[in-house]
């Protein structure tokens, strides 16, 4: 099924205004008439990505979502999705995040990777991906949704820039040789209470598999990864809702830790 371009533009406009007004809206699938057409979702996403770039926002990298097999089965897809990160949504370790920028935030802990060389020659090999990673960092993604009550299908989240919100990056770069990315443990606490645990293998079996998938898909879409791009590779455990005043800490063993607070 091919979605009419008028409907794609209408969906993009609805999400654009929801983001600007911090006001959640009904699912985008109701406009597009499909909950499964991923290409339609990416067409919507690209319109708003172009709008942001045209208005002066700088792309800082990409995020990968739906890396958990359980979540894939839940929303009926057999592959991850991706969204675009911007420099104004990136925060450093141990700073407060303004709640005023978010609608219905949830926190998840991830391994972030920083690309050291362009990845523009798909299909990419596993070793090629490893060689291209300059370093890894502990990270917390504050996902958000412009769709009311998180009532999303795969098309809704893809159109909504993979439910991007803000992201927090640790301050100690770690080379891949200094830790085991597949078995790295993760424990996330909110206000000192452990709310999520996992390991690197929860992300498609290995976060490097997610990075390889993304590198190939972006080449197919003509927007390959570049040196310096940040990759948020996907949650290693369940995401958790957060509220103003909450402190979120994610510990990743040898990879280190990262902390942030959602300010009132």
pLDDT in tens, 212-263: 999 999 999 999 999 999 999 999 999 999 999 999 999 999 999 999 999 9
Alpha helices in 111-186 (DSSP H): 126-132, 154-159
Helix 38-54 × helix 5-21 angle, to 10°:
50
Residue 1 is predicted with a pLDDT of 61
Contact call for residues 51 and 15 (beta carbons, < 8 A): no
Contact call for residues 166 and 101 (beta carbons, < 8 A): yes
Tokens read off for 75: 């929303």
The CA–CA distances, whole Å, from 226 to 53, 70, 231 equal 16, 31, 11
Residue 160 is predicted with a pLDDT of 97
Q: State the Cα–Cα distance between residues 169 and 181, nearest whole angstrom.
A: 17
Alpha helices in the chain (DSSP H): 5-21, 29-32, 38-54, 69-75, 126-132, 154-159, 207-220
User: What pairing do the DSSP bridges indicate for beta strands 166-169 and 90-92?
Assistant: parallel
CA-based diameter of the chain, in Å?
A: 50
Residue 261 is predicted with a pLDDT of 98
pTM: 0.95
Q: State the Cα–Cα distance between residues 30 and 20, nearest whole angstrom.
A: 21
Tokens read off for 89: 């949504």
Q: State the Cα–Cα distance between residues 84 and 132, nearest whole angstrom.
A: 20
Q: State the Cα–Cα distance between residues 72 and 214, nearest whole angstrom.
A: 16
Residue 79 is predicted with a pLDDT of 78
The CA–CA distances, whole Å, from 30 to 2, 15, 146 equal 15, 13, 14
The 10 Å Cβ neighbour count of residue 54 is 8
The structural domains of the chain, ordered by start, are 58-263 (3.90.850.10)
pLDDT single digits (tens) 83-142: 999 999 999 999 999 999 999 999 999 999 999 999 999 999 999 999 999 999 999 999
pLDDT single digits (tens) 71-80: 666 566 677 9
Residue 69 is predicted with a pLDDT of 73
Task: Read off the pLDDT of each residue in 156-161 and give the average, rounded to a whole number.
Answer: 96
- Nearest Cα neighbor of 126 from 182, 169, 81, 171 is 182
pLDDT single digits (tens) 176-226: 999 999 999 999 999 999 999 999 999 999 999 999 999 999 999 999 999
């Amino acid at each position: 099924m091919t979605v009419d371009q008028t409907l794609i533009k209408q969906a993009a406009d609805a999400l654009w205004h929801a983001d600007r007004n911090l006001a959640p809206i009904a699912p985008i699938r109701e406009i597009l008439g499909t909950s499964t057409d991923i290409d339609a979702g990416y067409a919507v996403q690209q319109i708003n990505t172009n709008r942001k770039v045209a208005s002066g926002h700088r792309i800082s990298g990409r995020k990968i979502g739906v890396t958990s097999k359980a979540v894939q089965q839940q929303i009926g897809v057999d592959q991850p999705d991706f969204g675009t990160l911007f420099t104004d949504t990136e925060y450093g370790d141990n700073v407060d995040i303004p709640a005023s920028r978010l609608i219905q935030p949830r926190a998840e802990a991830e391994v972030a990777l920083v690309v050291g060389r362009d990845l523009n020659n798909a299909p990419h090999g596993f070793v090629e991906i490893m060689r291209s990673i300059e370093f890894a960092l502990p990270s917390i993604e504050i996902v958000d949704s412009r769709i009311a009550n998180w009532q999303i299908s795969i098309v809704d989240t893809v159109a909504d820039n993979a439910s991007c919100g803000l992201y927090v990056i640790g301050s100690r770069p770690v080379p891949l040789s200094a830790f085991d990315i597949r078995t790295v443990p993760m424990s996330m606490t909110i206000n000192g209470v452990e709310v999520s645990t996992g390991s690197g293998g929860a992300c498609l079996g290995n976060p490097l598999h997610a990075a390889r998938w993304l590198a190939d898909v972006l080449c197919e879409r003509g927007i390959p990864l570049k040196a310096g791009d940040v990759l948020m590779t996907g949650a290693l455990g369940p995401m958790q809702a957060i509220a103003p005043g909450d402190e979120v800490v994610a510990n990743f063993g040898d990879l280190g830790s990262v902390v942030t607070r959602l300010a009132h």
